[in-house]
Chains A and B, each alone.
Chain A
Amino acid sequence: MTLHLALLWCASWLVPRAERGEWLAEWTAELWFVRRKGGAATAFSLGAFRDALWLRRNGEGRAFRLESPGQCLGVLSVMAVVGALLTFCWAPSRELAAMYRERGTAASFAVMVAIALVLLPRTSSFRGGAYPGAGAWRRRAFLAGKLLLAVPAVFCATLIVGAVIARGLQAHSLIVGLVLAFRWVLVDQRRRCPECLRLLDHPMRVGRPSQTFLEWYGTEFVCMKGHGLMHVPEIPTTSFETQRWMRLDRSWSGLFG
């Protein structure tokens, strides 16, 4: 087996099982033609990983997407309510919550949030993006809503973890949970249309790393409602520091419907 076939074989394990055989047959056949034409077989084979990942993420078992802002806030509300109900209906976690309440741990909780905020930039950028012409208040309200719902959901979840495994684990799991929750909130916010707040779709890679100095290199997303395109740079540069929103006017309606 050659290196290129080995790369394709490795990538094929990312493809859902039902589609794996056909996927590998297509890539193997295409590789034969690439080699015959003297093309860059290694670069070609490495692209198979991106294709395989796409199929993994968008195949039949596609991950549940919180498409609309209502769905997103709804699911977070359910998580917060279910978490609170479980915490206060289940004796061990209720006792743990009561113990924290007696000790007056509001200050400790604030410290945990502060630690999570200090750790957060290591996992995700705080930069929101440049959104000319898009209203900011809705975006900010949505962000605040997600944060207000995510924090109690995480807190309740960590109380349950603390009661189930060990009480001492609650503080640590709270920091980890808050970092993950804040990160998700920021990433989710950046992947939404700044006008309708629905998740952007159809990601398309544009450019190559070697062309970074000549033109921008990154991913382009489109709003399914046709509000515009989001350009996300792969590497922030002085000319393209953060993601940019390109609003599409009514003249585009024929294309977007």
Chain B
Amino acid sequence: MAAEPKLSHSAAMVLHAIQAGDGYGFSVMEMTGLPSGTVYPAMRRLERDGLIKSQWEKQSIADEEQRPARKYYRLTRSGRAALEASQKRYPLLARLAVSEVEES
């Protein structure tokens, strides 16, 4: 059986924000309050470790809305398991999404 993924507190925040938010880099920045220089390398690490997967949206959708296509990230099965484990360890993570909903 593969070893459980190792997550620091900040990585867990990013993982949680990807699941709870819209799944692109800027939304993760807005939810976590972390700067771009932290969020994007964290997402690269999470993707390298197989916890998230990225996918470009269809160009036709972006063209329709007259904006550039963006890259979306979503959790993999092991990412969801890692998030579940880290939510037990960091109970305040869940409040990240709640406060975001209250603000919007």
**Which residues of A line the B interface, CB within 8 A?**
25-26, 28-30, 32-34, 37, 39, 43-51, 54-55, 58, 201-202, 204-206, 208, 220, 222, 224, 226, 229, 252, 254-257
- Chain B residues in 8 Å Cβ range of A45: 36
**Known interface pairs A26-B25, A30-B26, A47-B35; A220-B9 also in contact (CB < 8 Å):** yes
Chain A CB count within 10 A is highest, among B11, B38, B39, B42, for B38
Whether the pair A29, B35 counts as a contact (CB closer than 8 A) is no
Residues of chain B at interface, number, CB under 8 A: 32
Could you list some 9 contacts between A and B, CB below 8 A? A26-B70, A28-B68, A30-B25, A30-B36, A32-B68, A33-B24, A50-B37, A202-B6, A205-B37
Whether the pair B6, A224 counts as a contact (CB closer than 8 A) is yes
B48 at the binding interface (Cβ < 8 Å): yes
Chain B CB count within 10 A is highest, among A49, A50, A204, for A204
**Which residues of B line the A interface, CB within 8 A?**
3-4, 6-11, 24-26, 29, 35-42, 44-45, 48, 67-71, 85-86, 88-89
- Chain A residues in 8 Å Cβ range of B29: 44
Distance between Cα atoms of A68 and B12 in the complex (Å): 26
- Chain A residues in 8 Å Cβ range of B8: 202, 204, 220, 222, 229
Given A30-B25, A44-B36, A208-B35, output 12 extra A-B contacts at Cβ < 8 Å. A28-B68, A29-B69, A30-B24, A46-B37, A50-B37, A51-B41, A54-B40, A202-B11, A204-B10, A205-B35, A222-B7, A229-B8
Smallest beta-carbon distance B56→chain A, Å: 8
Nearest 6 interchain pairs by C-beta: A47-B36, A47-B37, A257-B4, A50-B37, A54-B41, A29-B68
Whether the pair B67, A32 counts as a contact (CB closer than 8 A) is yes
User: Of A32, A51, A224, A229, which is within 8 A of B36 by CB?
Assistant: A51
Whether the pair B4, A33 counts as a contact (CB closer than 8 A) is no
**Known interface pairs A29-B70, A33-B26; A205-B44 also in contact (CB < 8 Å):** no
Whether the pair B37, A252 counts as a contact (CB closer than 8 A) is no
Residue in chain B with minimal CB distance to A201: B6
Whether the pair B68, A43 counts as a contact (CB closer than 8 A) is no
Distance between Cα atoms of A179 and B3 in the complex (Å): 39
